[in-house]
Amino acid sequence: MEGALSWIEHHLAHFDPYKDGRLSGLCEIPLAELAILVLSALRCSERVRDETIRRCLDLLQFTYHRSVYRERPFREPETLVPHVMVAAALERAGRLSPDAYRGRVERLVRASTLTAPSLPPHRLMELRHALDLAGVAHTLPSYSRLFRSTLAAQDVNPIFLSKAEAYIVTHVIFYAADLGHRPPVGVDERDAERLRTLVERLLGMYLVAGNWDLTAELVLCARCLRRPCAFVDFAWQCIADAQRTDGAVPGTRAHPQRDQDPERLDDAESDVSRCYHTTLVTALAAFACIHDSSTSGTP
Amino acid sequence: MRMRDEMEAAARFVTRVSDSQDDDDASPRHRLQAVFALWLAARAGIPFAVASLERTAAAAGLALERASRCGSFDPYTYDPRLLLVCREAMRACGVECAPLAAFAGDLVAVIQDVNAIPRRLAGTIALLELLDEMPLCPKSTARVDLPPATESLLRAPAPVLHDVCNQIAASSCFGARGVPRATRTGYLSTLPMILMQKLREYDLMLGASVLRSLKYLGMRDAEELDYAREYVLCQQQADGRFGYYARELSEGATLRNPHRELYLPVTVSMLWALVEIETPGACLVRD
């Protein structure tokens, strides 16, 4: 956790969608992911690296108040979710008044096609989760109804599950359980038990594959489901072993030889691109575990 | 028994490929693979295998004698377990193959001469004993001391996993003898994950090995086995072979005869795994 947060703090510029003056390739997504991390830190029962979280909030606030950023969802409503996540983090930190955005966002949600069922079910669930976090009124179906339409509600053979589909499963669990901050909503006992088994199998498979990104996501899923899951301790051990001395946890496209020596990186920017998500998800999973253990007494 | 049609189709493919005469130099190896596959499939009661085994065994015996006479058969370039099972299969069909008998005799002599048995030979020794080629060997303790597995097995590279599968086969005498519960536990929690991921990575040979290992460890009626079975059956082509390898073949794998050099061993391996997990009481050799 310490190493991952330290690395993120040293590479905050990467999360700025306008760091080179123009919108970056990944657009607002890394910034929204940073907002999710900040929200988890703010909601965690233990304070960890307050100064790092304050610097992350500074970036969120600075970016949010750039008109070119703030106006984007009103011109392109499909970009609303990442914006709402940033607003929710700022509001939670007391850096943004809900009056500053909620009414206009509610109008946009009502008037646009965002809530029309043209989005895949897991995307609708993501939208609902973001709007709920920001306290934005909407008419989206219940979590239960949305969940039942997702891939995660189906009996699936894990061998056939692609990586993209594994991410859909993990994200549906994140939205239902508010990233571990509540028991999964809209998921009945039978589905929760089935998902626990699926998460355990996928965790075992991605440990075999050495994919630390999905490993960290699945560790977080295990926390979200609040059920015992094999391989979690071993997964943490593997992630810790893979973590570099500079705190980065290499992603699936990282280079093993260069990963051992960050000084020798020939392309620092692409290295950050490869590592940022895995490092961030690792920190997110660690926050959920710290929160969980301090509130439930589990180690 | 489920999957009779699929096993029958695989047996037909194996026989067809090993029978064709366009590559005589390599034929003993492929004929032996066919004998091995048909022997297994016949034990599962697959009609085509039952009907074809004798003819295939006789043809393999002749090919081997011929290769031996002209010096092109070196048994030490083969998996000894393949040769021993084929010798047993051929004898059961009334075919006495001198080169295989000589190899078995040499092997027994060597084993009785050494002080400590290397772990990698444990499976071979178990087979020699089961096939009554040699008396029970007090030195072959490697067979029974399968070390317990931990979660670190999930990170083991493929050669280590192959070695683990061989040790499980040796320790259980290819499923003929039980493995202690305390030893089984760690394997039964990790190997199903390895099985699913290796199949996902399209390492069908290793997948088949792990599938057999799980059967030797006594795994039954597990969802992971159903998933693997479902996936494996989706990899069978219309002509009975297993594997869709057009990508590897177009990306530079230069094989003179892909049917024999690639599809045949994969299909034999898959057929072996299917016979083991689908046939109640099926064993490579009886204890």
Over residues A171-220, the pLDDT tens digits come to 999 999 999 999 999 999 999 999 999 999 999 999 999 999 999 999 99
Q: Which two tokens stand for residue A202?
A: 């996928």
**Residue range A252-289, pLDDT digits in tens:** 765 555 555 555 555 777 888 889 999 999 999 999 88
Closest CB from B194, B223, B231 relative to A208:
B194
A281: closest CA among A255, A248, A254, A253?
Answer: A248
Q: What is the pLDDT of residue A179?
A: 93
Q: Which two tokens stand for residue A33?
A: 């992911």
Q: Examine the pLDDT at A99 and tell me if it is beyond 90.
A: no
Question: Do the beta carbons of residue A280 and residue A8 sit within 8 Å?
Answer: yes
Instruction: Name B242's bridge partners.
Output: B236
Mean pLDDT along residues A5-31: 85
A209 contacts in B (CB within 8 Å)? 197, 200-201
- Which residue in B154, B155, B194 has the most chain A C-beta atoms within 10 A of its own C-beta, making it the best mutation to test that interface? B154
Q: Give, for A7, the enclosing helix (H) or strand (E).
A: helix A2-10
Q: What is the pLDDT of residue B56?
A: 93
| Structure confidence at residue A107 as a pLDDT band (50, 70, 90) | very high
Closest CB from B151, B190, B227 relative to A159:
B227
Size of chain B in residues: 287
Closest-CA residue in chain B for A229?
B189
CA distances from B225 to A203, B6, B149 (A): 18, 17, 20
| B58-77 residues labelled b (16+ CB within 10 A) or e (exposed) | bbbbebbeebbeeeebebee
Q: Is A108 exposed, middle or buried (0-12, 13-18, 19+ CB in 10 A)?
A: middle
Min Cα–Cα distance to chain B from A170, Å: 18
Closest CB from A159, A207, A231 relative to B200:
A159
User: Sign of the CA dihedral B224, A196, A210, A217?
Assistant: positive
Q: What is the pLDDT of residue B26?
A: 52
- Helices then strands, counting H and E runs in chain B, come out as 13, 0
Q: Which two tokens stand for residue B76?
A: 């030490």
C-alpha A70/C-alpha A62 separation (Å) is 11
C-alpha A120/C-alpha A118 separation (Å) is 7
Q: What is the pLDDT of residue B129?
A: 81
Q: Is B250 exposed, middle or buried (0-12, 13-18, 19+ CB in 10 A)?
A: exposed
Single-letter amino acid, residue A212: W
User: What average pLDDT does chain A have?
Assistant: 90
Question: Do the beta carbons of residue A87 and residue A64 sit within 8 Å?
Answer: yes
- Which residue in A154, A155, A157 has the most chain B C-beta atoms within 10 A of its own C-beta, making it the best mutation to test that interface? A157
Q: What is the pLDDT of residue A142?
A: 96
The conformation of residue B261, written as its DSSP 8-state character, comes to I
Q: What is the pLDDT of residue B142?
A: 46
Interface of A with B (CB under 8 A): 157-160, 197, 201, 204-210, 230-231, 234, 238
B206 contacts in A (CB within 8 Å)? none
Min Cα–Cα distance to chain A from B129, Å: 35
**Dmax over Cα atoms in chain A, in whole Å?**
52
Closest CB from A160, A210, A238 relative to B231:
A160
* A234:B224 CB<8 A: no
Question: Do the beta carbons of residue A249 and residue A212 sit within 8 Å?
Answer: yes
| Structure confidence at residue A298 as a pLDDT band (50, 70, 90) | very low
> ipTM of this model?
0.89
Chain A, chain B: beta-carbon pairs less than 8 Å apart: 52
Min Cα–Cα distance to chain B from A205, Å: 5
* A208:B228 CB<8 A: no
Closest CB from B152, B194, B227 relative to A158:
B227
- Which residue in B150, B189, B193 has the most chain A C-beta atoms within 10 A of its own C-beta, making it the best mutation to test that interface? B193
A55-58: Cβ within 8 A, 24+ apart: A55/A9, A55/A12, A56/A8, A56/A9, A56/A12, A56/A15, A57/A89, A57/A90, A57/A93, A57/A95
Q: Give, for A2, the enclosing helix (H) or strand (E).
A: helix A2-10
**Residue range B201-215, pLDDT digits in tens:** 999 999 999 999 999
Min Cα–Cα distance to chain B from A201, Å: 6
B157 contacts in A (CB within 8 Å)? none
B223 contacts in A (CB within 8 Å)? 197
Min Cα–Cα distance to chain B from A96, Å: 46
Q: What is the pLDDT of residue A177?
A: 95
pLDDT tens for chain B, 287 residues: list them: 678 899 999 999 999 988 766 555 557 889 999 999 999 999 899 999 999 999 999 999 998 999 899 888 899 898 888 899 999 999 999 999 999 999 999 988 888 777 777 777 777 887 888 788 877 665 554 455 788 899 999 999 999 999 999 889 888 888 888 888 889 999 999 999 999 999 999 999 999 999 999 999 999 889 999 999 999 999 999 999 999 999 888 887 678 888 988 999 999 999 999 999 988 877 777 66
* A201:B152 CB<8 A: no
Closest CB from A205, A230, A231 relative to B196:
A205
Q: What is the pLDDT of residue A258?
A: 52
Question: Do the beta carbons of residue B242 and residue B204 sit within 8 Å?
Answer: yes
C-alpha B112/C-alpha B137 separation (Å) is 8
Question: Do the beta carbons of residue A276 and residue A37 sit within 8 Å?
Answer: no
- Which residue in B188, B198, B200, B224 has the most chain A C-beta atoms within 10 A of its own C-beta, making it the best mutation to test that interface? B200
Min Cα–Cα distance to chain A from B252, Å: 24
Question: Do the beta carbons of residue A231 and residue A205 sit within 8 Å?
Answer: no
Number of neighbouring beta carbons within 10 Å of residue A156: 17
Interface of B with A (CB under 8 A): 151-152, 154-155, 189-190, 192-194, 196-201, 223-224, 227-228, 230-231
Q: What is the pLDDT of residue B198?
A: 98
CA distances from B120 to A229, B106, B147, B169, B223 (A): 35, 18, 14, 11, 31
Using DSSP's 3-state secondary structure scheme, residue A147 falls into helix
Q: Is B236 exposed, middle or buried (0-12, 13-18, 19+ CB in 10 A)?
A: buried
User: Sign of the CA dihedral A103, A105, A107, A110?
Assistant: negative
**Residue range A61-96, pLDDT digits in tens:** 999 999 989 899 999 998 999 999 999 999 999 999
A160 contacts in B (CB within 8 Å)? 231
Q: What is the pLDDT of residue A297?
A: 44
